[in-house]
Amino acid sequence: MAPVETEYYDLLGVKVDADDTELKKAYRRQAMKYHPDKNPSTDAEEKFKEISKAYQVLSDSNLRAVYDKNGKSMVDKEGGINMEDAAGFFANVFGGERFVDYIGEISIMKDMTSVATAMMTDEEKAEIEKQLNADRPDAAVKPPTPPVAATAHAPEEKAAESVPTPATATAPPSPGTAPPSHEAATTASLVAHGEAAAAAPGLAEKEKEKERQREAARRRAEQKEKLREQERERRKVMEARVAMLTQKMIERLRPFVEAKNPGAKDDPETQAFEKKMQREAEDLKLESFGVELLHTIGNVYMMKASSFMKSRKFLGIPGFFSRLKEKGALAKDVWGVIGSALSVRDVMMEMEKAQAKGELDEEQLRALEMDVTGKIMLASWRGARLEVVQVLREVIDNVLKEPGQPDAVLYNRAKGLLLTGAIFKSTVPDESDQERRELERMVAEAAQPKSKKQATTAAKARREEMLKHAKEQQDKAQGSPSGTHTATPTSH
């Protein structure tokens, strides 16, 4: 049965019977073409949102069935999109759901957000509380607490009001005491009021300072408790994630482990396993950062499996050096994350200073913004990669050191991991560098060391190339003569 409308298929440029692989490839092409950071045309952002929404629907079998039968109006009523602008595109920017069985859900962004929320400064919290309480009716009606000085004067004012009574006004002074003169009484009154007025504000400030200190101590205690609770929850989630991935890996390796001659070239089960992993890699590489993740996974698989196999063959001596190599690679990743974060900070500070001095024109500012975006993506990718490496190391240790399993089973698991790692690590993208998605290109370029001038020049050149490409596309769409002459693409 033909769909009642084909708008979403047309947006992606696919036939109505397109399969998942065709949808992924088409979405990648269109998303790269209309991404707001790549396409400077005025309607690029809106087009990008529409393309993202179309892919969200067509990639979900249930939503696709609803769309084919009833059109997009009914899909909107179903509430299946649940997406704000292009947030869905960036939520799964590193791997997405297809990689969950291999690495789980990457949680670095979620963890960083939770920690940042718990560690907000008093000033930031006060500002947020001010905004939250601005429209509260009880805050508007509640009378202000009177200051200490005002309450100190209140009894005196009441006493003054009660003085002019007939009884007290005519009462004679007690015997043996001289009645005070009017000047003396006035002077004493002024001195008393002056001391009270001077002392009261000082007391009020001391009380306020003590209250501020108590509040700061209370908030610090709350922050520490929140961080402890978050760490407990994070570790609990991580343990569940590692346990799930351990079982997934054991089951994935089972056909290889149970083969007649695991790893032999003429073994049918080994050949079937190898072909299955190759198909899996071809599918996974289509995901966002798919090739980069496959290379990361493959590298960890091969390193851990080699270390295990060498330790079994040579009584653990070469395995010691393999473990040193693993730790060195992990330390390098950690320093890479730190370096990327510092690089982002430095570039942003430079951009803010240049903006404050008015040294940047609009074109230079746009070029620097693109450079900053690339560095932010690079820092995010390196953080995600570090998380993946740490999780996989723990999972593989569980798989290769499972209690109660024969040595032969554990050794064959390592051989299966070595084969899978080699397949994943040798995966190459279908597209040329020119055609690869913008996010991966930005990360790759940001990873290359450049001076500030080189970075600005490169960003400006990339911007000019985008403008030129957009004009060519526009000329082609309008059928103008200039559209017949296409520039030779420049590789990056």
Q: Please tell me the pTM assigned to this model.
A: 0.55
**Is the model more confident about 466 or about 361?**
361
- The pLDDT assigned to 26 comes to 85
Most confident of the ranges 96-100, 328-332, 370-374, 449-453: 96-100
Q: How many CA atoms lie within 13 Å of 425's alpha carbon, on the beta-carbon side?
A: 14
Lowest model confidence (mean pLDDT) among 172-181, 219-228, 295-304, 325-334:
172-181
Helix (H, G, I), strand (E, B) or coil at 303: helix
Residues 10, 30: Cα–Cα separation, whole Å: 11
- The pLDDT assigned to 322 comes to 53
- The pLDDT assigned to 484 comes to 42
Q: How many CA atoms lie within 13 Å of 16's alpha carbon, on the beta-carbon side?
A: 11
For 400-438, what is each residue's pLDDT tens digit? Answer: 999 999 999 999 999 999 999 999 999 998 765 455 555
**Is the model more confident about 375 or about 92?**
375
Q: What percent of the chain has pLDDT over 90?
A: 20
- What is the sign of the dihedral through the CA atoms of 303, 305, 308 and 312? negative
At 451, is the pLDDT very low, low, confident or very high (cuts 50, 70, 90)?
low
- The pLDDT assigned to 255 comes to 95
The token duo for 409 is: 């089973």
Asked whether residue 151 carries a pLDDT value surpassing 80, the answer given is no
For 246-263, what is each residue's pLDDT tens digit? Answer: 999 999 999 999 999 998
Nearest to 73 by CA among 7, 11, 1, 2: 7
Question: From the centroid of its chain, how far is CA 442?
Answer: 17
Most confident of the ranges 60-69, 218-227, 294-303: 294-303
Lowest model confidence (mean pLDDT) among 96-100, 261-265, 465-469:
465-469
The token duo for 397 is: 């240790």
The token duo for 342 is: 């510092």
Residues 358, 355: Cα–Cα separation, whole Å: 5
Q: What is the mean pLDDT of the chain?
A: 70
Neighbours of 337 (CB within 10 A): 20
Asked whether residue 138 carries a pLDDT value surpassing 50, the answer given is no
The token duo for 272 is: 């079937």
- The pLDDT assigned to 170 comes to 43
At 103, is the pLDDT very low, low, confident or very high (cuts 50, 70, 90)?
very high
From residue 213, alpha-carbon distances to 148, 210, 216, 220 in Å are 19, 5, 5, 11
Q: How many CA atoms lie within 13 Å of 199's alpha carbon, on the beta-carbon side?
A: 9
With vertex at residue 30, the alpha carbon angle to CA 29 and CA 35, rounded to the nearest 5 degrees, is: 110
- The pLDDT assigned to 305 comes to 94
Lowest model confidence (mean pLDDT) among 97-111, 309-323, 355-369, 468-482:
468-482
The CA radius of gyration of the chain, in Å to the nearest whole number, is 35
- CATH match of 7-91 with 3.40.250.10: no
Most confident of the ranges 51-60, 107-116, 348-357: 51-60
Residues 303, 397: Cα–Cα separation, whole Å: 12
- Pinpoint the residues of the chain covered by CATH 1.10.287.110: 7-91
- The pLDDT assigned to 66 comes to 82
Asked whether residue 131 carries a pLDDT value surpassing 70, the answer given is no
Lowest model confidence (mean pLDDT) among 16-30, 78-92, 336-350:
78-92
For 50-80, what is each residue's pLDDT tens digit? Answer: 888 888 888 877 788 888 887 877 666 554 4
The token duo for 435 is: 């055609």
- The pLDDT assigned to 398 comes to 96
Most confident of the ranges 158-162, 327-331, 482-486: 327-331
For 187-201, what is each residue's pLDDT tens digit? Answer: 555 445 555 555 566
Phi-psi map region of 41: left, alpha, beta (phi>0 left; psi -120 to 50 alpha): beta
